[in-house]
Amino acid sequence: MVRAAVLTETGAPLRVEDIDLPDPGPGQVRVKIAATGVCHSDLSLARGTLRQPVPAVLGHEAAGTVVSVGDGVATAAPGDRVVLCWAPPCGQCWFCAEGEPWLCEHASDAAAAPYASLGGQDLYPGLSTAGFAEETVVSARAVLPVPDGVPLEQAALVGCAVMTGVGAVLNTAKVRAGQSVLVVGLGGVGLSVVQGARLAGAGRIIAVDRSPEKLALAQTMGATDVLEAGGELAKQVRALTDRRGADHAFDCVGLADTIRGSWSATRRGGTTTIVGIGGKEQQVTFSALELFHFARTIQGCVYGSTDPFTDIPTVLAYAAEGRLDLGSLISTRIGLDGIDGAFAAMEKGLGARAVVIPGA
C-alpha cells in the first residue's frame, strides 16, 4: 500500500488515499517518488480539458529512486536515481521511424490501462506516470538516469516543463544566435523557454506576463526586456525590435487572445510557436490576406519536439554544468494534500512551479 492523491471524477477535489500498487511486471520499473512538479497539464486533466480515464492518479513531471525492476529490465536497477518521461516513444511506429518520437502513436498507451487499484477499483496513471504518489510503476523506457550533481526535485522539472520549454527553442523553432525571441506566459514552461533562448544565444529576449514577480525572475534567467501583459503587445515588441517584430514568438499560455497576440508581434517571415495547451473552444482567426502578406510561420509544439533518450540527458547535463537554473523555477514545496491549492494558485497565475514532496 502506498499513499497517492486520487482524482475520483473529473472536476472533483483530489483525495489522498492508500492504493494497492503491484510489483513491476516484465519490462516495468517501480520508483519511489522524490518530487513531482504540478504542471498545467495536470490541471487540464483534472478539469476535463484533456481526457483521462478516472479514477486516476495524476502527476507526470517526476523523479525518484528505483525500488525494483521486472523481468527483462537491463536499463535500470534498484537504487538508480531517475527522471520519469511521461511520453516514452516506442521506437517502432511510423512517427518514430520518421524521426518524430514526440508524436509516437503509443507514447500514451499506458495512460489508458489500469496500473493500480483503490478498494478493488481500477486506477489509471495520469499521462502514463502517476507521480502524485509515494511510489509508482512505469515502463522501463520511461526512466532515465539523473547525474549526481542534480537534485531530484530539480530533475523532476526536466520531465516536462524544462524539456518542453528548452526543446521548443532548440528543437522546434531552432532559434539561431542573435535572433530576437518573445515569450508570452512565464510559468515553468515559459521560464524554461527564456532559458532555452539564452542557451541558443538569442539577442533580445522579451518576456511577457501579468506577474511582476515572474517578470523579475525571467530577468535573472536571461530575459533582456520584460513587458506586463495587457498592453498593445505588437506595438511594444516592434518598438524593441527596430519596428519589425520578433524573429520568434512563443505562446506558453494557449488562449486564443495570447496566440493571436504572439502571432501579431512576430515579424514578417518570422515564426510563432504554440507551446501552451488550450481548450478546443479557443478559436483563433486569421484573414487570408494577412497570412499571405506577413508570410509568418505558425507551428504547434508537442513536448518540445523531444527525443527523450537523447534530449533529456543533454538537458540534465546542462543543469549539472550550471547552464540551466532549475532551482529558481520551484516556487513552493507541498505535500500530497496541497495539490488542489497549487491548482488554485495556478489558475490565478501565481508562482512558477509547485513541487510535491510525497513525504512532506
User: Which tens digits make up the pLDDT trace of 310-328?
Assistant: 999 999 999 999 999 999 9
Same domain, 144 and 168: no
Number of compact structural domains in the chain: 2
Find the CATH number of the domain harbouring 227: 3.40.50.720
Q: How far, CA to CA in Å, does 314 sit from each of 91, 174, 254, 326?
A: 19, 16, 27, 14
**311 belongs to a structural domain:** no
Q: DSSP characters for 215-226?
A: HHHHHHTT-SEE
**10 belongs to a structural domain:** yes
Domain that holds residue 203: 162-303
**56 belongs to a structural domain:** yes
**203 belongs to a structural domain:** yes
Alpha-carbon distance of 245 to 263, in angstroms, equals 10
Same domain, 346 and 206: no
The tens digit of pLDDT for each residue in 47-82 reads 988 888 999 999 999 999 999 999 999 999 999 999
Same domain, 26 and 65: yes
pLDDT for 279: 86
Same domain, 140 and 223: no
Task: For CA atoms 199, 204, 208, 211, give the dihedral sign.
Answer: positive
**342 belongs to a structural domain:** yes
Same domain, 258 and 131: no
Same domain, 207 and 331: no
- Its pTM stands at 0.96
Burial class (CB in 10 A: 0-12, 13-18, 19+), 281: exposed
The tens digit of pLDDT for each residue in 276-300 reads 998 889 999 999 999 999 999 999 9
Same domain, 57 and 180: no
pLDDT-based confidence at residue 6 (cuts at 50, 70, 90): very high
**Which residues are within 8 A (CB) of 245 and not within 5 positions of it... i.e. 6 or more apart?**
234, 237, 238, 265, 266, 267, 268, 270
Same domain, 299 and 337: no
pLDDT over 80 at 247, yes or no: yes
**313 belongs to a structural domain:** no
Q: Which parts of the chain fold into alpha helices (H)?
A: 40-47, 94-97, 152-158, 161-167, 188-200, 212-220, 233-240, 256-264, 288-294, 308-320, 339-347
Same domain, 79 and 137: yes
